[in-house]
């Protein structure tokens, strides 16, 4: 599985840490983690590497 596929089936805390680790590894500036809460709800978090 690719990194994106692996993260898509994980716990929300792991999603955020995967985004942060990938930013560090690739030198990226922004990362996005989206999560389905259920009953039509969801949440998104943008992480910025400074």
- 21 CB burial (10 A radius; 0-12, 13-18, 19+): middle
Question: What residues contact residue 11 under an 8 Å CB cut-off, 6+ apart?
Answer: none
SS3 22: helix
Indicate the pTM of the whole model: 0.65
**Phi/psi at 3 (5° precision):** -60, -40
Quote the pLDDT of residue 15.
Answer: 83
Q: How many domains does the chain have?
A: 1
Quote the pLDDT of residue 16.
Answer: 85
The whole domain housing 35 covers 3-48
List, for residues 18-48, the tens digit of each pLDDT value. Answer: 889 999 999 999 999 888 888 889 999 999 9
48, two tokens: 């910025």
Flag whether pLDDT at 4 surpasses 90.
no
């Amino acid at each position: 599985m690719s990194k994106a596929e692996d993260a898509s089936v994980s716990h929300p805390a792991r999603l955020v840490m995967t985004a942060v680790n990938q930013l560090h590894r690739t030198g990226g500036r922004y990362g996005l983690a989206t999560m389905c809460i259920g009953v039509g709800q969801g949440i998104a978090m943008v992480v910025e590497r400074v």
